[in-house]
């Protein structure tokens, strides 16, 4: 199958991990994939942001930023149109981004199916966290893109509900969660990394560190811990919360038991996760499919995570993780303390989490197979009237 992969990503972060992994899995399955997106993506560094975009955010008011991003839809759509004319895809696979409507427009023009991967309700998310300008127009454009896809592929059932609420028929929604590459996690690994104190049990976290993640609770817990073995924390990543956490660790007298690796290359992450005794997901947005959870599971680590619907889609309390009530004071540390005192429980939960990855094929290769099956079904649905580029399954209003 010839797949034209459309995106609007400009930075190498979790978005880039998903994009690169899916493209690699599709190609490994024998499909021809052409990627079309901003030219700067291929040159972006890990964790980096477009300098031009950062400058716009500093200089322009929110409403002007929104207009600039909307205007960018014109060259983005033209770029995808030219790529489709030359490549002649069987399907367009697009990663949804705010104001990115190129896939809807070009798919209709070419008479090919559009599969739209949705990772977040971005208009809502940016309105809450990023000072979104023109929120009503932004939300309308997002709904326009969602409704124009032949199949929308949200990463969680929770997010699927948001997509359905926006007017997409449930029959055009299929959940495809994040995954991992089994080649990176071939077998449950023995601890290879560790804390500065090799006798310590290691709590670990992977990701871009923000204040809302709540890692300060882990630091306070470590400082107050009086168990048989000391506890330490390894944070694989960086972010705006790091300076405050480092300062807090020093104030609590545990700086020697807290290690920040900084940004780590993707190939280095599995070995670092293998060094965790207890893997932390202290908080999560309510609709996300956190990549770190799948990595923790594949590495057979004992996981502590909040008890909320999107995480219960992949984790079961007491079976593959300990889930805590995020509204209950002390619940997070209570789960950590329970695992710290029970090596048998850590082993059982980690092994069961790994088994779930295998049983449900929560891998990028599995996702590639699922996506291709969906694409084939949509191509079949289009064939009776495909010459006119019409939609056999009804209006995409």
Domain count along the chain: 2
Q: Does residue 208 share a domain with residue 137?
A: no
d(CA 102, CA 78): 8
Q: State yes or no: pLDDT of 386 exceeds 60.
A: no
**Count of H helices and E strands in the chain?**
16, 11
Question: Which 3 state secondary structure label does DSSP give 263?
Answer: coil
Helical H segments across 299-363, by residue range: 309-312, 331-340, 343-360
Q: Does residue 371 share a domain with residue 350?
A: no
**Strand pairing report for 258-262 and 278-280:** unpaired
Q: Does residue 107 share a domain with residue 17?
A: yes
Q: What is the mean pLDDT of the chain?
A: 90
Q: Could you tell me if residue 215 is inside a domain?
A: yes
Question: Which 3 state secondary structure label does DSSP give 264?
Answer: coil
Residue 81 CA, chain-centre distance (Å), reads 27
d(CA 240, CA 244): 8
Q: Does residue 371 share a domain with residue 230?
A: no
Q: Which two tokens stand for residue 260?
A: 């920040």
Q: Does residue 167 share a domain with residue 44?
A: yes
Q: Which two tokens stand for residue 185?
A: 């996690």
Q: Could you tell me if residue 188 is inside a domain?
A: no
pLDDT digits (tens, 9 = 90+) for 142-175: 999 999 999 999 999 999 999 999 999 999 999 9
d(CA 378, CA 176): 16
Q: Does residue 231 share a domain with residue 145?
A: no
What is the predicted pLDDT for the residue at 392?
40
Q: How many CA atoms lie within 13 Å of 265's alpha carbon, on the beta-carbon side?
A: 2
Q: State yes or no: pLDDT of 373 exceeds 60.
A: yes
197 — pLDDT class (breaks 50, 70, 90):
very low
Which residues are CB-neighbours of 312 under 8 A, at least 6 positions away?
A: 323
d(CA 395, CA 228): 64
**Arithmetic mean of pLDDT, 228-251:** 96
pLDDT digits (tens, 9 = 90+) for 292-330: 999 999 999 999 999 999 999 999 999 999 999 999 999
Length of the chain: 397
Q: Which two tokens stand for residue 177?
A: 């969660």
Which residues are CB-neighbours of 390 under 8 A, at least 6 positions away?
A: 111
d(CA 283, CA 208): 12
d(CA 229, CA 211): 28
Q: What is the DSSP string of 82-137?
A: HHHHHH--SEEEEE--TT--HHHHHHHHHT--EEEEE-S-HHHHHHHHS--SSHHH
Q: Could you tell me if residue 159 is inside a domain?
A: yes
Q: Does residue 351 share a domain with residue 375?
A: no
Q: State yes or no: pLDDT of 53 exceeds 70.
A: no
Q: Does residue 97 share a domain with residue 141?
A: yes
Q: What percent of the chain has pLDDT over 90?
A: 79
Q: Does residue 247 share a domain with residue 106?
A: no
CATH code where residue 118 lies:
3.40.50.2000
pLDDT digits (tens, 9 = 90+) for 12-49: 677 888 999 999 999 999 999 999 999 867 665 655 55
CA neighbor of 80 nearest in space, from 71, 68, 89, 67? 89
In which domain, by residue range, is 285 found?
A: 201-360
What is the predicted pLDDT for the residue at 129?
76
Q: Does residue 20 share a domain with residue 63?
A: yes
């Amino acid at each position: 199958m010839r797949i034209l992969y459309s995106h609007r990503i400009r930075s190498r972060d979790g978005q880039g991990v998903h994009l690169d992994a899916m493209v690699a899995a599709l190609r490994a399955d024998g499909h021809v994939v052409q990627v079309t997106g901003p030219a700067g993506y291929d040159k972006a560094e890990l964790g980096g942001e477009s300098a031009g975009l950062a400058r716009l955010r500093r200089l322009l008011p929110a409403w002007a930023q929104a207009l600039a991003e909307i205007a960018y839809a014109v060259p983005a759509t033209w770029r995808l149109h030219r790529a489709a004319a030359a490549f002649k895809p069987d399907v367009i696979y697009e990663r949804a981004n705010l104001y990115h409507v190129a896939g809807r427009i070009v798919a209709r023009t070419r008479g090919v199916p559009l599969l739209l991967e949705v990772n977040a309700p971005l208009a809502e998310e940016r309105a809450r966290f990023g000072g979104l300008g023109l929120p009503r127009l932004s939300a309308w454009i997002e709904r326009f893109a969602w409704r124009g896809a032949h199949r929308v592929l949200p990463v969680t059932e929770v997010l699927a509900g948001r997509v359905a609420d926006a007017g997409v028929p449930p029959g055009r929604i299929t959940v495809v969660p994040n995954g991992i590459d089994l080649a990176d996690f071939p077998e449950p690994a023995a601890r290879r990394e560790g804390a500065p104190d090799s006798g310590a049990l290691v709590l670990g976290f992977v990701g871009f560190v923000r204040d809302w993640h709540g890692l300060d609770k882990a630091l306070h817990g470590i400082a107050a811990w009086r168990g048989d073995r000391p506890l330490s924390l390894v944070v694989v990543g960086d972010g705006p919360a790091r300076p405050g956490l480092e300062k807090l660790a020093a104030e609590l007298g545990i700086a020697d038991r807290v290690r920040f690796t900084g940004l780590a290359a993707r190939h280095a992450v599995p070995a670092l996760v293998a060094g965790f005794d207890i893997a932390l997901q202290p908080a999560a947005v309510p609709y996300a499919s956190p990549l770190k959870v799948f990595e923790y599971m594949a590495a057979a680590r004992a996981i502590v995570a909040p008890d909320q619907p999107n995480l219960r889609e992949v984790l079961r309390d007491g079976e593959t993780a300990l889930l805590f009530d995020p509204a209950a004071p002390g619940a997070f540390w209570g789960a950590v303390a329970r695992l710290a005192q029970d090596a048998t429980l850590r082993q059982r939960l980690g092994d069961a989490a790994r088994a779930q990855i295998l049983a449900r094929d929560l891998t990028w290769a599995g996702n590639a197979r699922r996506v291709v099956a969906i694409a084939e079904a949509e191509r079949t649905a289009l064939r009776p009237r495909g010459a006119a580029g019409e939609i056999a399954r009804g209006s995409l209003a």
